[in-house]
């Protein structure tokens, strides 16, 4: 069983760089229905990585907590079914 929930981040705004408060996450690209395959990314020792699908550069920022992002608002939350 997973120790923690892996946050998902999107880039609907099309910015080149998103700083995040975690080292491991899922990139979804744009929000559905324009998303790409949701892929796991580990920022590793360098603390940054480019998504191979949408070319967003993600960088770890230790001043951010958990699901925060800079610019703000890039956490993807799956809509609840009605």
pLDDT for 67 equals 94
Quick one: pLDDT at residue 33? 94
3 state SS of 81: coil
Burial class (CB in 10 A: 0-12, 13-18, 19+), 53: middle
CB 30 within 8 A of CB 10: yes
Q: How far apart are CA 28 and CA 37, in angstroms?
A: 6
Provide the pLDDT confidence category of residue 82 given band limits of 50, 70 and 90.
Answer: low
Judged against a pLDDT cut of 60, whether residue 2 lies above it is answered with no
pLDDT tens digit sequence for 9-61: 999 999 999 999 999 999 999 999 999 999 999 999 999 999 999 999 999 99
């Amino acid at each position: 069983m997973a120790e923690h929930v892996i946050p998902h981040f999107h880039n609907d705004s099309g910015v080149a760089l998103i700083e995040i408060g975690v080292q491991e996450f899922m990139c979804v690209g744009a929000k559905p229905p324009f998303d790409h395959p949701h892929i796991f990314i580990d920022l590793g020792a360098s603390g940054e990585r480019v998504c191979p699908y949408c070319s967003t550069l993600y960088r770890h920022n230790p001043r951010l907590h958990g699901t925060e992002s800079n610019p703000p608002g890039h956490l993807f939350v799956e809509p609840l079914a009605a």
